[in-house]
Chains A and B, each alone.
Chain A
Amino acid sequence: MSPAQETLLRRVEKVDGGLDSQDVATSLGVDHQAIVGAVKSLLALGDVISAEQRSSKHWELTGEGCEIAEQGSHEARVVSSIPEEGMPQSQLMKLAFGKVGFSKAMSNKWIRLDKGHEGGPRIFKTVEHLEDLVRDKLLLVQKGQASQLEEKEKNELKKRKLLSEVTVKSYWITKGSCFSTTITKQETELTPEMIASGSWKEKKFKPYNFEALGVAPDCGHLHPLMKVRTQFRQIFLEMGFTEMPTNNFIESSFWNFDSLFQPQQHPARDQHDTFFLSDPAQAHEFPQDYLERVRKVHSEGGFGSQGYKYDWKIEEAQKNILRTHTTAVSARMLYKLAQQEKFTPVKYFSIDRVFRNETLDATHLAEFHQIEGVVADYGLTLGDLMGILHQFFNKLGEGSTSQGWGQFHSFNSLPGNVIQFKFEVGL
């Protein structure tokens, strides 16, 4: 326990009510801050003392105010410096207090100015004896009797920057519920030595501070988007969907567009929307018979479709791009499925990166992730599609069922009575 703390405790003990910390500081002749320090450390020990924060304002003289209190106000000094025969104005103005004092003295009518005097304007005293009220008031404040002045007077002096209001914070110290002049130090931690020696039985322990936060564990983190992806992946697996191999960012236009019945002049195939590759620029291997069938459906129709009736160019289909959707992979998978000797129903999914040649802004990136699901079986209906989506969202826990189905658009249709829908959810 420091001497300040000890002295303070003894003082508090002696007094009936309480003590003001400022008074203590003054009577001990120490800096107020030292007392504040002692108060704070005593407070930390528990309820030894209680301290109430108080602030009081009082008036103090500014530097200029002190100067006036000593030497008199500017205007008074002006008057006292003018001799019987008067003084030229220019000479008066040269004095330190001249300018301010001149105008004040004029308004108090303590001097007069003779503008027409020979040798230049000249100032004369009009009074012999004056009361330097300003100085008197300041002296009162200096003596600590500021309360004798009216508010108006004090504010006026404050305006002239002769007085300033100073806030003083102090503590009102009273005995606490566990007051004692001796302080027992509180332990913060139980140590193995205390347990071994049994000394813990006599120790007092500092209560825990539950207001503060604990120590943050130094752990690693998974990326939030990847966490969402894991969640979606889990939902698909629970619904029996098998993951497609989507680890190929570069795709040919054939699989990405043509096999999905997107015509070669479609705007999505523009330079503005798709990333084309300059190296490797073209894909060089395609299942030829399938390519022929795709060409035919685009240009002439087939499998019940009218087709688009334009000249389908293989050069366009060979162009390599960064895939704009993982549906390209679905197309490959369905083709593989069709090559099987015996058809087996499948449910496929993928969640992977796709690329669009967009200008970046706050809500658009050139790379993002796409979720894709495919079900292939006999006798599937539109109702089944809606049912699966409904179940998917249920598992997600969004509860965005019933209304808000937004719009279906038949995105494209694959040859052979396989229908693909793309669906926008109005969230």
Chain B
Amino acid sequence: MPTVSVKRDLLFHALGRTYTDEEFDELCFEFGLELDEITSEKDIISREQGDTKAEGASDVILYKIDVPANRYDLLCLEGLVRGLQVFKQKMEAPRYRRVSPASSEPQRLVITKETTAVRPHAVAAVLRNITFTQERYDSFIELQEKLHQNVCRKRTLVAIGTHDLDTISGPFTYTAKPPGDIRFKPLNQAKEYTAQELMSLYKTDSHLRHYLHIIEDEAVYPVIYDSNGIVLSMPPIINGDHSKISLNTKNVFIECTATDLTKAKIVLDMMVTMFCEYCEEPFTVEEAEVVYPDGRTCQYPELAYRKETLSADFINRKVGISESTEHIAQLLTKMCLRSEVMSDGEQIEVEIPPTRSDVIHACDIMEDAAMAYGFNNIPRTTPRTYTIANQLPLNKLSELLRQDLAAAGFTEALTFALCSQEDIADKLLKNISETRACRISNPKTAEFQVARTTLLSGLLKTVAANRKMPLPLRLFEISDVVLKDESKDVGARNNRRLCAVYYNKSPGFEVIHGLMDRVMQLLEIKPGQGNGYHIQAADGFQFSPWCFQLPCQTGPTSLPSGAAV
């Protein structure tokens, strides 16, 4: 769950009233959020770096609020306030409009074909006559960061660039060039660098070095120029210093380059809807035109409002309440899903705004209705589904055997299903190729290289970790191992095993033998050749003379498939 940090007093000012911490916590809960922490910058630094470093840091109270991962409209103070005010029915959800420029042609972003190889998509928009204050500016920058981390998947899917439109002039070109050919002064630097030099420069930058890999090894790097050859940005790494935004910026050009067009559109919509509040004409966004390599043009931002129709009955049935159509429409409107009862009195037309890209199915609407109704207000009922329970036979057998093994004086162990290669091969004097083991491709440590093919390694490790305990140690485990099997659709299957270990100053073969006899007795398998069980020495188990195999033909008692001793 992403966490948004907002200054409490700013928040209350925007909401038009103050709350106690408890009241605000309640409000968050009702709305589906969680007030995670109340702290201040000073507290944070104090905790992370010690009190001395925290001297002089801000004391301003911060609320850290957890928001659901798919609610991109709640990632900044502006969005939170809007959401909460609409929820409390203090205001109506604003209507976002895309407008044409007053007197001129729209800003144009031309995409060349070179970008197809590296970062094919781009969208753009303009915020006209906007007024920034320090807080709004900070919020603006912060939202970009949050979106980058969240829906943009750390800039791999989408990268946002914001520019002072008055410092540049269109039409803009989005192209890709070999790194040696790109040269500009990046944000907050004093001189010009080539793209290659920037790659080395930012290798030590704690923030930017994580994004270098996205384009580092490509033949061409993406770059955006204006009509005078000034570099706006080299996505997804860094913007140019020339077009940087300041508190005095009045007109903003926003571009999003991406490998996923749908996400780019969502991100652009998010950026503009959140901040167009501060434009001279609030909640309007000036369009920009994107020209594709094949000549097609497209106007952005989309700011699409989508309509879905559903019945009050649908909501009532799914949630388990019975509310009137009007009330349901009201509940949904509280969640920024403006709804109207249609002429038939039953159907509701729900309008999904561009800020709610998380609503993609009628069930999402239903969920919002339930949330607005209040989950704790929904009566809890038991489904009338009548079913007879069945145990999985394999698990039933395992449970029964577990009890009897403990009754026989053995202690159950629970060991990892993943282990190192040595654990199932070398340490048991076997060749790894004989084991039919499944291999992990991305283990974090050597302890998790393969899935276990025997329970013995785990039990032996348990013994090794418990050598200080009084002897004898009697351990058992009934659990699954994993074996390769081409006949299964995934190429592997589990196999239920029982393993027991006796550890003492003297080996005690007869103890394990006796246990095994007991297990067979419980399974009603008699000793003897032919229709019973017998022991024979096995090849391959060389480390102790008494390891044995157990060929077993079952008679009337059939063991469930997948069980082996």
Contact = CB atoms under 8 A, between A and B. Distances in A.
Given A277-B441, A279-B439, A284-B489, A410 B417 contact: no
Given A240-B387, A377-B385, A384-B320, A250 B490 contact: yes
List of 9 A-B pairs having minimum Cβ-Cβ separation, nearest first: A383-B320, A381-B320, A280-B491, A278-B441, A285-B489, A387-B380, A220-B406, A306-B360, A243-B392
B499 interface: no
A336 to B, nearest CB: 13
Interface of A: 218-223, 225-226, 230, 233, 236-245, 247-252, 265, 267, 271, 275-286, 301, 303-310, 320, 322, 345-347, 353, 355, 357-360, 366-367, 375, 377, 379-384, 386-388, 390-391, 402-403, 405, 407-410, 413, 417, 419
B405 interface: yes
Contacts of A367: 416-418
A237 B496 CA distance: 22
B444 interface: yes
B102 interface: no
The CB with the most chain B CB atoms within 10 A, among A219, A236, A280, A320, is that of A280
A387 B320 CA distance: 11
A419 B318 contact: yes
A310 B360 contact: no
Given A275-B442, A275-B448, A383 B379 contact: yes
A219 B484 contact: no
A250 B364 contact: no
B489 A278 contact: no
Nearest to A248: B494
A307 B357 CA distance: 11
Contacts of A353: 417, 480
Contacts of B378: 382-383, 386
Contacts of A405: 375-376
B262 A308 contact: yes
B387 A346 contact: yes
A400 B383 CA distance: 21
Contacts of B157: 265
A347 B389 CA distance: 8
A236 B480 CA distance: 22
Contacts of B441: 276-278, 281
A277 B361 contact: no
B248 to A, nearest CB: 38
A110 to B, nearest CB: 61
A383 B364 contact: no
Nearest to B478: A226
A407 B417 contact: no
A384 B416 CA distance: 36
Interface residues of B, number: 81
Given A220-B410, A248-B493, A277-B439, A384 B387 contact: no
A383 B260 contact: no
Contacts of B562: 247
B337 to A, nearest CB: 14
A377 B482 contact: no
17 contacts: A218-B409, A233-B399, A242-B388, A247-B496, A280-B492, A281-B441, A283-B489, A320-B490, A346-B385, A347-B387, A355-B417, A355-B418, A366-B448, A381-B317, A383-B320, A387-B382, A409-B68
Given A275-B443, A410-B367, A413-B363, A244 B392 contact: yes
A383 B380 contact: yes
Contacts of A247: 394, 480, 493-494, 496, 562
Contact of B361 (A271, A306, A408): A306
A139 B440 CA distance: 85
Interface in B432-468: 438-445, 448, 451
A252 B494 CA distance: 14
Contacts of B360: 301, 305-308
Interface string B493-505: 1101000000000
Nearest to A387: B380
Contact of A242 (B386, B387, B403): B387
B412 interface: yes
B409 A219 contact: yes
A383 B490 contact: no
B215 interface: no
A243 B395 contact: yes
A384 B382 contact: yes
A305 B308 CA distance: 11
Contacts of A240: 385-389
Interface in B353-411: 360-364, 366-367, 370-371, 375-376, 378-383, 385-392, 394-395, 399, 402-403, 405-411
Contact of A408 (B320, B375, B380, B414): B375
A218 B321 CA distance: 57
B241 interface: no
A233 B391 CA distance: 9
Choose among A251, A267, A359, A381 the residue with the greatest number of B CB atoms under 10 Å from its CB: A381
Contacts of B427: none
B262 A249 contact: no
Contact of A225 (B382, B414, B438): B414
Nearest to A286: B489
B516 interface: no
Contacts of B399: 230, 233
B361 A304 contact: yes
